[in-house]
Chain A
Amino acid sequence: MKVLKKTLLLAAIGGSLFATAASAEQINLTWQMWSGSDADTKGWQHLAEMVTAKYPDIKVTLTTTGWVDYWTRLPVLAASGQLADIVSMQSLRMPNFYSLLEPLNDRIAADKFDVGAFTPSIIGGMSVDKQLYGLPYDVGPWVIYYNQDALEAAGIPLPKPGWTLAEFTDAAKKLTKDGKYGFGITPQNYSVLASAWGDKYVNDSGELDLTNQSAIGAADRVIGFAAKDKIAPLVPSSADAGTVIQGRFNSGNVAMYIDGPWSIIGMKDKARFKIGLTTLPRENDKDLAAVTAGSGFGIATTSKNKDAAWKAIQVLTSPEALQYLAEQGRALPARTASQSSWYKVAAKDITNGGEALDYSLAHSVPYAITNNWAAVENLFNQYFPPAFGGSADAKQTMETIQSLAQQ
């Protein structure tokens, strides 16, 4: 009996030692992410530590790069075989880069991971051919920001979510006076507005189709804001027309403009007027189809620790992680249940912020883009400004972009 006890004890000690040795085997994961500030980096670092808190044997080392550089570096890192285990990805870039990422459908099915907890449009945005390549952490529908003081001074009732193009144009016309404009537009707004109105610029096969009647009609309306109605200022084909327009909005020179919820935090400190939020205008006789964008995390196909990376990205997009990001005002969570936390923090001083986002998310659709979308957006940036200035019409502009995008 004594011998048996001793044997069992030794076996137990040996087993526990073996188990300890096994659990002590550290898995080091690398994670590449963009960051705009030290506060941003601190937030991401906190998420990396959440992974280790849940899985002590997994350590995540974060590397951050500025937003613009991130997308230049990503293909270079991939080409030189230096991708991190966890690759951060924006939905609009997914068609370009999905080949670098591990398909997740099998893992999702095996672990019964609840994809239904996320806003459907961002799951669509992180997917290619119905295969999910990344778990999203945020989602954002494009919306209209307005200068509430300017609207009230002009006697315009605050726009309700779901307002129509006619109501929008009427308000913008009333707000355009004394050298100020009712609306600020950028070339990149084309696809966002065309989608909202239900116009198709990508065909059912996923190819760019800018020369169909629907796409040209939308371009005519977008160009008309500046060229015909004169309710929007002209913009140059610059590196970042969006920043110029945002600056004009913050200075009170433009009363309404299109942006995503990701801009709320920075904007509140800059604008000296009350800011309100509403949906994109819908076509008068159609429902709104608000496109969304968002970002998430995928597993590099080159990773040697794919199982650990799968565990890690589940933590990075867990309710706790998204709650943390929401409380920091960092991102409108991709998980539907966590979104109200973000409204309470980030959108609390914004008139109708929660309502506008709720309505937009309820009417959201995946953003239709092609696999050369970055090139197409560059061409929008080059060829829409002359049209805004009246030196080309919608048809010519779309034909030129369509032709050059196919080179």
Chain B
Amino acid sequence: MSESAVAEIGLRPAQPRRLLKPETQTAMLFLLPSFLGFMIFMALPILASLALSFTNWQLLTTPSFVGFQNYIKLFTVDPAFYTILGNTLFFAVEYLAVNIIVSLTLAVWISSLKRGKAIFRVIFFLPTFTPTIAASVVWLLIFTPDGLADSVIRWLGLGLPNFLLSSSWAMQAVVLVTLWANVGYNVVMFNAALDLVPKHYLEAAMIDGAGPWRRFWRIRLPLISPTVFFATVMTAITSLQVFDEIFAMTRGGPGSATATLGFAIYQKGFTNFQMGYASALAWVMFVMIMGLTILQFHMQRKWVHYDD
């Protein structure tokens, strides 16, 4: 830049200062509908539910303020709460672990195929198109006593009880169906991430004598760790909110074996009309999800590798 040019710039009359640049204003304009939508349909209901959690509101009557009574009742009186909490955590941990392992395994297998990658991606992704309630009803008929699952178990001589009648096995049926319905998302995501791993890293490792397991563990997994992290966080959040499969297949039973927070919120709110109490439960769930997500973000520093 020449001296004269610098002088020219300096001599320009001062422009009126704008609060936002024109491109920022345009961006804000385009973002406005979704921001308004978020405020009206997300932020306000969330705040309303927080306010409601301090009330006794039976939907048909005016809410009355009860302070922390709903939370106190939840933690000290309700005999079902800790069972529900335990079931929710049990489901979330088992489902998260199984989902990540199965989807990663399938994605690695698909990426190793020379032909038919697209077909298998579609096959595993197909269940995610199916409405969960409809799929769960079909699975209910499969698992119902004397149904297909019982026949297969008998034929294989496994000696297992009917899943939906057993307090110890009912949750496994829910995990299985949820896995069947949702594993496709992570399979497709991991598969895409694996395909982006530079080939020359793997070829160099092969030349150095690294076997398939070592190549996966030392090269591919670290390189796709941001995707694995994202999938882990999202799957953990959705698993803590599980509802559809439980609503259709078990209604929280047998006994309270599959009653989770998501189901309990629906049951208290829309069956028992204890909307204040249901809101308190929802906030307990919110805190759990938030806590778990913060923990995951904290732990990612140790195992997620970003290509800075």
Contact = CB atoms under 8 A, between A and B. Distances in A.
Q: Do A and B bind each other?
A: yes
Interface of A: 72, 75-76, 78-79, 96-97, 99-100, 179, 233-239, 244, 372, 374-375, 378, 381-383, 385-386, 389, 391-392, 400, 403-404, 407
Contacts, number: 100
A16 B247 CA distance: 62
A75 B57 CA distance: 12
A295 to B, nearest CB: 19
A404 B251 contact: no
Contact of B251 (A382, A389, A403): A382
B78 A381 contact: no
A385 B59 contact: no
A238 B255 contact: no
A166 B267 CA distance: 38
Nearest to B259: A382
Nearest to A253: B146
A236 B249 CA distance: 8
Interface in B229-282: 247-256, 259, 267, 270-273
Contact of A75 (B60, B167, B247): B60
B296 interface: no
Interface stretch (B137-145, B194-202, B206-214, B217-225): B137-145
Given A79-B59, A244-B141, A381-B251, 7 more contacts: A233-B146, A236-B144, A237-B252, A237-B254, A372-B272, A375-B267, A383-B254
18 contacts: A72-B270, A75-B60, A235-B145, A236-B143, A236-B144, A236-B249, A236-B253, A237-B252, A238-B250, A375-B271, A375-B272, A378-B252, A378-B267, A378-B271, A381-B251, A382-B252, A383-B253, A404-B79
A403 B79 contact: yes
A381 B253 contact: yes
A404 B274 CA distance: 14
A350 to B, nearest CB: 27
Contacts of B252: 237, 378, 382
Contacts of B250: 236-238
B79 A238 contact: no
B270 A386 contact: no
Contacts of A381: 251, 253
Nearest to A371: B273
A378 B78 contact: no
A386 B165 CA distance: 6
Interface in B25-79: 59-61, 77-79
B164 interface: yes
Contacts of A100: 60
B66 to A, nearest CB: 15
A100 B59 CA distance: 11
A287 to B, nearest CB: 34
Contacts of B251: 237-239, 378, 381-382
B293 interface: no
B167 A238 contact: no
Contact of B77 (A235, A382, A389, A407): A407
A238 B140 contact: yes
B140 to A, nearest CB: 5
A173 to B, nearest CB: 19
A76 B256 contact: no
Contacts of A78: 59-60
A75 B269 CA distance: 10
Nearest to A234: B145
B253 A75 contact: no
Contacts of A400: 255
Interface of B: 59-61, 77-80, 137, 140-141, 143-146, 162, 164-165, 167, 247-256, 259, 267, 270-273
Contact of A382 (B144, B146, B253): B253
B24 to A, nearest CB: 38
A234 B164 CA distance: 10
Given A375-B271, A407-B80, A239 B254 contact: no
Contacts of B141: 244
A407 B268 CA distance: 10
Contacts of A374: 271-272
B145 A75 contact: no
Contact of B165 (A72, A79, A97, A234): A234
Contacts of B164: 236-238, 385
A242 to B, nearest CB: 13
A81 to B, nearest CB: 12
- 10 A-B pairs closest in CB distance: A237-B253, A236-B164, A382-B253, A75-B59, A234-B145, A386-B254, A375-B272, A389-B165, A385-B254, A79-B59
Given A72-B270, A378-B267, A382-B255, A238 B248 contact: yes
B185 to A, nearest CB: 25
B240 to A, nearest CB: 21
Contacts of B267: 375, 378
Contacts of B272: 372, 374-375
Interface centre among B164, B255, B273 (most CB of A within 10 A): B255
Nearest to B248: A239
Nearest to A390: B165
Nearest to A392: B255
Contacts of B270: 72, 75
Given A238-B164, A239-B137, A378-B271, A404 B253 contact: no
A244 B253 contact: no
Given A78-B59, A238-B164, A238-B250, A383 B145 contact: no
